[in-house]
């Protein structure tokens, strides 16, 4: 049972390049999330998808786009990477109700130079 799988694990981009971070879950969860983790700031929500076919902005959506491809997959795209987007990105999934926690992937460490 893989849980939440993220690819790639590491990536270095040049300023202005684009890339897509992939996430897939095999727990039949309804909701999926993208967070970024920066030192001293905890996790901040970028985008989320409450159910297949819907996406909504979180706390820090600027510079990102997302696609909920199907119930299993939720991708995050950086159209024109900036150094401020250097971070560790985590995908998570959950049932979408407040009483249940999330299952997290192992993260993508992105460096923009």
- What residues line the site for another protein (CB under 8 A)? 4, 33, 35, 40-43, 45, 48, 58, 90, 92, 94, 98-99, 101-107
Q: Which of 92, 49, 89 is nearest to 71 (CA)?
A: 49
Of the pair 14, 107, the CB lying nearest another protein is at 107
Q: Nearest approach, Cβ of 42 to another protein (angstroms)?
A: 4
Q: Nearest approach, Cβ of 15 to another protein (angstroms)?
A: 26
Of the pair 37, 75, the CB lying nearest another protein is at 37
Q: Is the peptide bond before 93 cis (omega within 30 degrees of 0)?
A: no
State the greatest distance between any 2 C-alpha atoms of the chain, in Å, as a whole number. 41
Q: Which helix (H) or strand (E) segment is 93 a member of?
A: strand 87-94
Q: Nearest approach, Cβ of 110 to another protein (angstroms)?
A: 15
Alpha carbon distance, N-terminus to C-terminus of the chain:
36
Q: Nearest approach, Cβ of 45 to another protein (angstroms)?
A: 6
């Amino acid at each position: 049972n893989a849980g939440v799988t993220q690819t790639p694990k590491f990536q270095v981009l040049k300023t202005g390049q684009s890339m897509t971070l992939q996430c897939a879950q095999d727990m039949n969860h309804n909701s999926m999330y993208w967070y970024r983790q920066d030192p001293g700031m905890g996790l901040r929500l970028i985008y989320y998808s409450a159910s297949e076919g819907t996406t909504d902005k979180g706390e820090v959506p600027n510079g990102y786009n997302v696609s909920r491809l199907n119930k299993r997959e939720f991708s995050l795209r950086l159209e024109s990477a900036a150094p401020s987007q250097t971070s560790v990105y985590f995908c998570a999934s959950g049932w979408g109700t407040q009483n249940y926690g999330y299952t997290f992937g192992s993260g993508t460490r992105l460096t923009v130079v």
